[in-house]
A and B are shown apart, each in its own frame.
Chain A
Amino acid sequence: MRKGKIRKFNRFHYTNEVACVKRNRQRRKTSKLERTRYRNHNKPADFFLGFSHTSGFPLLLCDSFIYITGKVSTLTTMEDVTCERIMKKIEAVLSQDTLLDEFDIVFSLGEVNRSPVVHVEHKLGLESWCVKHVYAYAYAKIMGSKQTKRREDPAQVLRWTQFCLLIAPEVTTFWNLRKVLLGQGDLSANLELHFTRLILSRKPKCMEVFQHRKWMFKNVIAKVIPQQANGPNGIDPEHHNGNGVVFHSEQIERFLFAELDLCTWAANKHQNNYHSWNHRLWVIQQFATYVGLVDVCRAEYEESHKWISVHVSEHSGLHYLQYLLDSIVSLVNESKVENVSEIVPYVNSVTKLYQRELDFNRDLIEEYEDHEALFCHRRFLLTRLRDLLCSSPQRTCSPPPPALKRSPG
């Protein structure tokens, strides 16, 4: 699918693009030293983003060396402008196209006589030839400003970190810089949610993105509102949780429901996506805290069965169902619902719930042979049912010592 998109990008003609990046080979004179360095360059780095040795972009590779090592700084003026222009273009696309839903690096042979930023049908592409160059520039800028503890213009830090995170979203230091700016109100939460979603379109199992969104929920979206800001009469669109703490309930609900959709989308993009399913579990836990579990469990129970029916080899989805089943049983045990049927129609006891699940599981096993995940799930169901019927939970611990020993010191 990704390859298809890349082909789509490559077919696109850039008739309206401003040729803001000149052909470097013609414009710049590079030293013999630089050319030697390119030839001696180690192979693995070239293949890092799927590049291969082709004509056109080697000179730019040389530039990236210069920025990374920080040994040469005299060639920078023109290049800095180019790097900034590319980043500004990306920033403009991100802030203007609210329907932008996909980002990727587009392979190119290094035709540089046009902008490397491709924006078509709400997709954003960045031509591969410029990646190393601009990344090295932005990286050096961020690190430079961090080390000198200079107070940078927030807009610049946002632009640099935005570019670097599109390329390498695993770098938590960059996310942390953005957290500070979110906290100061220099960055809007909606823009950041859009940006992080865009990154997931390229790297749908990026743990750091999910972590950042979790942090945003706790510290921006569901941030406790100080009581005095609540108006003299306490009339508010917010929600009291009974402990005198006030939340923006509508905002929270909107975020949580959107987050469930995001998880489904990310899970569809990458098989067995542990982080997306783990995030979904976290979302359900937030529902329990802020909204209530009954309605979401009812919807998710149904949704989960639809998902599993077409993803029989994904244990993560089955584990999620296990979590929902445990949640439903807890709701019944804690008398938050009178009967299971309030969540699962026509099922009026916990035992029958497990029996229904065993039937569903058996049907899948019969239809789709040889799926370990389905058998693992069956084990879970049988264990739970046995514990329920025998009232003797499975032993999860070992016999007490002396079955244990310390290693020799």
Chain B
Amino acid sequence: MGSHPKDVVITDEHPKTLLYQKHADYIVGYSKKKDDYEFTMTEHFRMSGMYWGITALDLLNQLDRMDSTEILDFICKCQDKGSGGFSPSIGHDAHLLYTLSAVQILVILEALDKVDVEAIVKYVAGLQNEDGSFSGDQWGEVDTRFSFCAVNTLALLKRLDAINTEKAVEFVMRCQNVDGGFGTRPGSESHAGQIYCCVGLLSITGQLHRVNGDLLGWWLCERQLPSGGLNGRPEKLPDVCYSWWVLASLTMLGRLHWINADKMRVFILATQDAETGGFTDRPGDMVDLYHTLFGLAGLSLLGESSLKPINPVFCMPQYVLDRISVTVQIMST
């Protein structure tokens, strides 16, 4: 294989240790900042933003710093009375992406009784298509991400019986490529984010045997670059969010040890911002909640003892899944 001209250089100036408290302060600070332009510009994915922040804070063992009453009040206002799905923010349109985020937060905060669960189940089931795929919302866009959102949501609600899981699995398998990876739709290029979604769906539904772990595991560990960072497709730059998509997929495939964990750790730690707290996509960029969660989640998967263990499929703290007795399938090698 060739060398990697598209990589980053990690120097002595980049952080080498986990800036634990800085991250917690960054997340809490972010959640209180509600009156600027950035707040409006991120409104269309607010629900997911909240899930990233809450999960990250829980991994850092400081969930109690969030105002759960305010959060739950917001979530309740985002459930669409007509469809049952959740919108990213008040006034926006419901979508599977934000329905999953809302359910994840509600499960973490043990507050499912605050919303109409039956309506959620109906919403998700109503978005399954004839071929087993899922549309993201009423406008009909199909993507394996949405399949994962649907199955993930219903697994957390323990209502997988509401959909045709066999067909959902069949559709996902139609999206597999010769390289062992998965794309957004049948014929689409393999992409580490989509692979996480598809492998996650197979894990939840107990169908991981349909994947050749060696073939896919090989493709996944080829994502690691000399800097230790992972990219999502061949010849792309490394990005800390792939330390989640790829590491979680490898964990489900029982092959986490196929990558160089020490170098991976160095890369993730280098994406911290020592001044503001939070993680960036690559060393030196601007921090955001999304990369902060996936940076912490990646470190948790690698065994960082100061963080709570994370579940590789649901991207939620393991204790939460234990509490509701939801299990996932992991390949053993």
Q: Assess the A64–B37 pair: CB atoms within 8 A.
A: yes
Question: Counting CB contacts under 8 A, is A19 at the interface?
Answer: no
User: Looking across the interface, which residue of chain A has its beta carbon closest to that of B34?
Assistant: A69
Q: Assess the B235–A272 pair: CB atoms within 8 A.
A: yes
Question: Counting CB contacts under 8 A, is A41 at the interface?
Answer: yes
- Give bound CA distance, A407 to B319, whole Å: 12
Q: Assess the B189–A316 pair: CB atoms within 8 A.
A: yes
Report chain A residues within 8 Å CB of B69. none
Most chain-A Cβ atoms within 10 A of its Cβ — which of B37, B45, B179, B222? B37
Report chain A residues within 8 Å CB of B11. none
With A68-B36, A278-B189, A281-B188 as given contacts, are A176 and B93 in contact (CB-CB < 8 Å)? Answer: yes
Report chain B residues within 8 Å CB of A408. 327
- Give bound CA distance, A47 to B92, whole Å: 26
With A173-B93, A278-B183, A404-B331 as given contacts, are A395 and B40 in contact (CB-CB < 8 Å)? Answer: no
Q: Assess the A405–B329 pair: CB atoms within 8 A.
A: yes
Which stretch, B17-25, B113-121, B204-212, touches the partner chain A? Answer: B204-212
Report chain B residues within 8 Å CB of A61. 37
Report chain B residues within 8 Å CB of A68. 35-37, 39-40
Report chain A residues within 8 Å CB of B36. 41-42, 45, 65, 68
Report chain B residues within 8 Å CB of A242. none
With A45-B37, A215-B139, A376-B179 as given contacts, are A395 and B322 in contact (CB-CB < 8 Å)? Answer: no
Question: Counting CB contacts under 8 A, is A147 at the interface?
Answer: yes
- Measured between C-beta atoms, what is the minimum distance from B112 to chain A in Å? 19
Contacting A69 at CB < 8 Å: which of B35, B93, B179? B35
With A285-B187, A396-B176, A405-B329 as given contacts, are A147 and B44 in contact (CB-CB < 8 Å)? Answer: no
Q: Assess the A398–B37 pair: CB atoms within 8 A.
A: no
- Give bound CA distance, A281 to B35, whole Å: 42
Contacting A372 at CB < 8 Å: which of B1, B91, B177? B1
Q: Assess the A314–B139 pair: CB atoms within 8 A.
A: no
- Measured between C-beta atoms, what is the minimum distance from B123 to chain A in Å? 16
Question: Counting CB contacts under 8 A, is A369 at the interface?
Answer: yes
Question: Counting CB contacts under 8 A, is A384 at the interface?
Answer: yes
Question: Counting CB contacts under 8 A, is B332 at the interface?
Answer: yes
- Measured between C-beta atoms, what is the minimum distance from A280 to chain B in Å? 11
Report chain A residues within 8 Å CB of B234. 315, 372-373, 376
With A68-B39, A218-B140, A407-B328 as given contacts, are A172 and B286 in contact (CB-CB < 8 Å)? Answer: no
Chain A residues 51-99 with CB under 8 Å of chain B are 61, 64-65, 68-69
Question: Counting CB contacts under 8 A, is B305 at the interface?
Answer: no
Most chain-B Cβ atoms within 10 A of its Cβ — which of A45, A136, A285? A45
Q: Assess the A380–B178 pair: CB atoms within 8 A.
A: yes
Chain B residues 248-296 with CB under 8 Å of chain A are 286
Question: Counting CB contacts under 8 A, is A170 at the interface?
Answer: yes
- Measured between C-beta atoms, what is the minimum distance from A182 to chain B in Å? 11
Report chain B residues within 8 Å CB of A369. 2
- Give 17 pairs: A residue, B residue, CB < 8 Å, sorted on A: A136-B37, A274-B189, A278-B185, A315-B189, A319-B189, A372-B235, A376-B234, A383-B178, A394-B215, A399-B209, A403-B332, A404-B208, A404-B209, A404-B330, A407-B327, A407-B328, A409-B322
Give B residues with C-beta under 8 Å from A: 1-6, 33-41, 44-45, 87, 90-93, 95, 137, 139-141, 176-180, 183-185, 187-191, 206, 208-213, 215, 222, 233-236, 286, 311, 322, 325-333
Add 19 more A-B contacts to A173-B92, A278-B188, A395-B212 (CB < 8 A).
A48-B38, A64-B37, A68-B35, A68-B39, A135-B40, A143-B91, A278-B189, A313-B6, A313-B235, A315-B234, A323-B187, A380-B178, A394-B215, A396-B176, A397-B209, A398-B213, A399-B209, A405-B332, A407-B311
